Chains A and B, each alone.
Chain A
Amino acid sequence: MDKDYRLILEKSINMNKCKEENLIRFDTIKVSYLEYIIFKIYSKVKKKIREKSE
């Protein structure tokens, strides 16, 4: 992207609308082993169904 174009874009951006918030941090989200195992089984079943339909 040439410099002139970047300048046009920089000038056009409206940053004022957006307010920074204290959102939940991704690294604090935990997945339990039970959740993981249940989902693994669910994924395997889903995959088999999909393969059969294809």
Chain B
Amino acid sequence: MIIQILDTLSYGDAVSNHALGISKILDKNEIENKIYANCVDSRLSDIAKKIDTYTNKKDDIVIYHLSSGCAIADLISSYDCIKGIDYHNITPACYMHNYNKRLERVANKGREDLYNLRNVVNFAWADSDYNASELEQIGYKCKIDTVPIIMDYNEYKINPEKSILDKYDDHGWVTNIIFVGRIAPNKKQEDVIYDFYYYKKYYNNNSRLFLVGNYNHFEKYYLKLQKLVNKLNLETSIIFTGHVKFSEIIAYYKLADLFLCESSHEGFCVPLIESMLFDIPIVAYNSSAVGETMGDGGVLIDDKDPCKTAAVVDTVINDSNIRAIISSEQKKRLDQFSVHMTEKKLINLLYSLGGCCEVYY
């Protein structure tokens, strides 16, 4: 049986969605599987069980989703079966230092766990080549494969939240720039705000910035961002949405004219793919796995110069030829991350782990 283990199975976060996506693929291929976690969202209690109810069996294949530090990592070492990690990267602790001491400790523990598991696991998966290269650097000697985050594009075919559309849809009169991601220091929302300041002042006064994401755990950072917005007199043009429902995220994507990312650390960055899905041109700072996820889609910027970024944003929004090329390249990239492509890879990988399933492609 394939056993997926993670710290928290919650509703809507990328790692949980990925684990659920793997489970769906396994179910579809009639491969027995279960999910266990330390904390399980009550809405998912039919799908996953608490980790303390799991009894390890020799025939099991355990996949541990590693994205932060937790006590489960010590349990993995004690299992007498084929075991591996699926590495989703860990936000470096330095980003949390001034904002959340507890999360800083969790991130440090995650790095320790990652190091300690290097000689314990039989296989390793990573969301991106960027994450895979980190594993190599740490000293993982087992086979490392890149398995992108599973995204079922059909799940995005839901009705957008009408109240959001009613509130902000002005039929193209206002240009909407968007960034989606939790409010967190590594996402560098302050740099998005600086870019937007220049864009609004020098290129397009009829513009608005949506910063879509939960600020839970980073209230101090969020308050600093708000103070910055006030000092730049952008209170009426920058909207912090806070926690949003899935249908609300869809509405913000529907409203967006451009996705602007200044993030300094991403192990994959799901919102880039989501933007491609909604045919929104992307302008992004080239850091960590961002460039790899974008591939030939969107525009990558190698430096943090808000004047230049504002100029690029203006060009992409106004030049229909450039937008058409970006759109076509982003569509090609989107196909490469389709659930069908990932399913094929995943099943082949599982099969190679000792004939655990009789599925051939």
Q: Given A18-B198, A18-B202, A24-B231, are A1 and B296 neighbors across the interface (CB < 8 Å)?
A: yes
Contact of B341 with A by CB under 8 A? no
CA distance A26 to B299 in the complex (A): 25
Q: Name which of A26, A35, A40, A50 has the most chain B CB atoms within 10 A of its CB.
A: A26
Task: Point out which of A20, A29, A36, A54 has the most chain B C-beta atoms below 10 A from its C-beta.
Answer: A29
A52 on interface, CB distance cutoff 8 Å: no
Task: Give the docked Cα–Cα distance between A9 and B296 (Å).
Answer: 14
Given A1-B329, A14-B315, A19-B202, A36 contacting B223 (CB threshold 8 A): yes
Establish whether residues B307 and A1, one from each chain, have CB atoms under 8 Å apart when the complex forms: no
Report the Cα distance A26→B321, complex, angstroms. 36
Bound Cα distance from A8 to B315, whole angstroms: 11
Asked whether, in the complex, the Cβ of B311 is within 8 Å of the Cβ of A31, the reply is: no
Contact A18 B310 (CB under 8 A): yes
Q: Is the CB of B299 within 8 A of A23?
A: no
Q: CB-CB < 8 A to A43: which residues of B?
A: 215-216, 219
B299 CB contacts on chain A under 8 angstroms:
1, 9
Q: Which residues of A contact B216 (CB under 8 A)?
A: 43, 47
Residues in A whose Cβ lies below 8 Å from that of B325:
5, 8
Contact, CB under 8 Å: B232 / A15: no
Within 8 A of B (CB), among A1-24: 1-2, 5, 8-9, 12-15, 17-20, 23-24
* A36 and B312 contacting across the interface, CB-CB below 8 Å: no
- The count of chain A contact residues (Cβ–Cβ below 8 Å) is 27
> Which listed residue, B203, B245, B296, B319, touches A2 by the CB 8 Å rule?
B296
Q: Which of A2, A13, A50 contacts B311 (CB 8 A)?
A: A13
Provided the pairs A1-B299, A1-B300, A12-B322 are in contact, do residues A31 and B194 lie with their beta carbons within 8 angstroms?
no
The reply to whether B311 and A14 form a contact with Cβ atoms under 8 Å apart is: yes
CB-contact partner of B223 in A13, A24, A31, under 8 A: A31
When distances are taken between beta carbons in the complex, the residues of chain B under 8 Å from A5 are 322, 325, 329
Shortest CB–CB separation between residue B173 and chain A, in angstroms?
Answer: 21
A45 to chain B, nearest CB (A): 13
Q: Is B224 an interface residue when CB atoms closer than 8 A count as contact? A: yes
Complex interface: chain A residues within 8 A of B148 (CB): none
Task: Judge whether B243 and A50 touch: CB under 8 Å.
Answer: yes
Interface residues of B in 202-246 (CB under 8 A from A): 202-203, 215-216, 219-220, 222-224, 227-228, 231-232, 242-243, 245
A-B contacts, 9 listed (Cβ < 8 Å): A1-B296, A9-B322, A18-B310, A23-B197, A29-B224, A29-B228, A31-B220, A47-B216, A50-B243
Residues of A at under 8 Å CB distance from B? 1-2, 5, 8-9, 12-15, 17-20, 23-24, 26, 29, 31, 35-36, 39-40, 43, 46-47, 50, 54
- By a beta-carbon cutoff of 8 Å, the part of chain B in contact with chain A is 190, 194, 197-198, 202-203, 215-216, 219-220, 222-224, 227-228, 231-232, 242-243, 245, 296-300, 307-308, 310-312, 314-316, 319, 321-322, 325, 329
